[in-house]
Amino acid sequence: MTRKPVIELRDVWKVYQMGEVRVPALRGLNLKIYPKDFVAIIGASGSGKSTLMNMVGSLDVPTKGKVFLDGQDISLMDESTLAQVRGRKIGFVFQQFNLLPNLTAAENVALPMIFQGVPKEERQTRSLELLERVGLLDRATHRPNEMSGGQQQRVAIARALANDPEIILADEPTGNLDSKTGEMVMKLLVNLDKKEGKTLIVITHDKNIAKVAEKRVNLIDGQVSMRG
């Protein structure tokens, strides 16, 4: 049986208007990502990684071309529908953690479930289960400023898993961590791909992370230069 991509970009261009100048960030990019893939998207600063992340994560629409999420053209969805689909399908992990400072770890993890209409009791139970999975059940009532960077990133990973998404999209997930903590966080992410069957997409400039990925997409000036 032919495998169908979970994310597909067809001839995607993204052009930004900077005053009177048009700046292309992506130039006719084609990409297919299949279920359970572990893909590293690598490239220097300014290569288009962040723009590609926004396309892959259905956070933005292309200037030209098509982006498909589970076979659905995201440009045909209204923002409300897209937000719901994205919330179910994709869990995001960011370099800056993006935890809400006034919420506890458990409350941060539960937050995405609110937008999917999950009942309160179920949210509370699942958030504690996820914190236990990332080894932070004892930090459930702690706020971000009471946790280390590594602990905050593990909370962020737990939050990304809140709605049991098929895809985990991590943007420079070890960028603000020391090498030892970063290695621990990457092992946690890789485990999601290997043992839980998640599709893992990591945007990074770290070649050590790229080495452990099954597939590599190397961006140069908004185009794919090669794939591993």
What whole-number distance in Å separates Cα of residue 49 and Cα of residue 47? 6
Q: Please check whether residue 183 lies inside any domain of the structure.
A: yes
DSSP state, 74?
G
Average pLDDT estimate for 22-48 = 91
Q: Please check whether residue 141 lies inside any domain of the structure.
A: yes
Does the structure show a pLDDT above 70 at 104? yes
Mean of per-residue pLDDT scores for the chain: 91
**What per-residue confidence (pLDDT) applies to 193?**
83
Structure tokens at 139: 């930090």
Does the structure show a pLDDT above 70 at 39? yes
**What per-residue confidence (pLDDT) applies to 226?**
54
Q: Which phi and psi (to 5°) does residue 192 adopt?
A: -65, -35
- For the chain, how are helix, strand and coil distributed in percent, rounded to 5? 40, 30, 35
pTM of the model as a whole:
0.91
Does the structure show a pLDDT above 80 at 227? no
Residue type, 133: R
Q: How would residue 158 be classed by pLDDT, with cut points 50, 70 and 90?
A: very high
**What per-residue confidence (pLDDT) applies to 1?**
61
DSSP state, 4?
P
Burial 133-162 (b: 16+ CB within 10 A, else e): bbebeebbebbbeebebbbbbbbbbbbbbb
Q: Please check whether residue 79 lies inside any domain of the structure.
A: no
Identify the three-state secondary structure at position 54: helix
Of residues 86, 85, 62, 59, the one with CA closest to residue 9 = 62
Average pLDDT estimate for 25-29 = 93
Q: Which residue has the tokens 């090498």?
A: 179
| Beta carbons within 10 angstroms of residue 175's beta carbon | 15
Q: Please check whether residue 16 lies inside any domain of the structure.
A: no
**What per-residue confidence (pLDDT) applies to 228?**
46
Q: Going edge to edge, which strands form the sheet with 7-18?
A: 21-33, 7-18, 64-69, 72-73
Q: Please check whether residue 107 lies inside any domain of the structure.
A: yes
Q: Please check whether residue 5 lies inside any domain of the structure.
A: no
> In the chain, where does DSSP find H-type helix?
49-56, 79-89, 105-115, 120-133, 149-160, 179-194, 207-212
Residue percentage of the chain with pLDDT more than 70: 98
151: domain CATH number is: 3.40.50.300
Query: Which residues lie below 8 Å from residue 5, measured CB to CB, with a gap of 6+?
Result: 32, 33, 34, 68
Average pLDDT estimate for 154-160 = 95
Q: Please check whether residue 136 lies inside any domain of the structure.
A: yes
Q: How far is CA 168 from the centre of its chain?
A: 5
State the total domains in the chain: 1
What whole-number distance in Å separates Cα of residue 140 and Cα of residue 137? 5
Q: Please check whether residue 61 lies inside any domain of the structure.
A: no
Q: Which domain holds residue 119?
A: 37-54+86-227
